[in-house]
Amino acid sequence: MAEYPTVFDIREILRQKIDQDVASFESNVKVVKAITLGVDSSTSPVVSGKAKYVWVREHGLNGAVHQAFNPDKIPLVVNLPILLMYSPKEPFRWEVYGSDWAEVYHLTGFVDQNFGVGAHSPNQEWPDYAAGYDPLSVYPRSLYPLRTYPSTGLLISISSHRYVYNGEVKTFYGIEDIDLSSHQPVSGVARLVVVYLDKVSNVINTVAGSVRMDGAVLPDYPSIPGESIVSAAVRLDGDQTVIAEVDITDLRMDLTDTEALGLLKSIAAVETEIDYTLSNHELRIDEIDVDS
Residues 6+ apart with CB under 8 A from 153: 181, 241, 242, 243
Residue 264 has pLDDT above 70, yes or no: no
Domains in the chain, please, with CATH? 7-119 (2.40.50), 144-254 (no CATH)
Select the more confidently predicted residue: 20 or 200.
Answer: 200
The reported pLDDT for the residue numbered 257 is 47
Question: Which residues does residue 58 pair with via DSSP β-bridges, in sequence order?
Answer: 34
Number of C-alpha atoms within 13 angstroms, CB side, residue 74?
Answer: 33
Give the pLDDT band (50/70/90) at residue 6: low
Q: Cβ(40)–Cβ(53) under 8 Å? A: no
Residue 232 has pLDDT above 80, yes or no: yes
Tens of pLDDT, residue by residue over 184-225, are 999 999 999 999 999 999 999 999 999 988 776 678 889 888
Tens of pLDDT, residue by residue over 96-122, are 988 888 787 777 665 544 444 555 677
Tens of pLDDT, residue by residue over 121-139, are 777 777 777 777 777 788 8
The mean per-residue pLDDT over the stretch 83-92 comes to 81
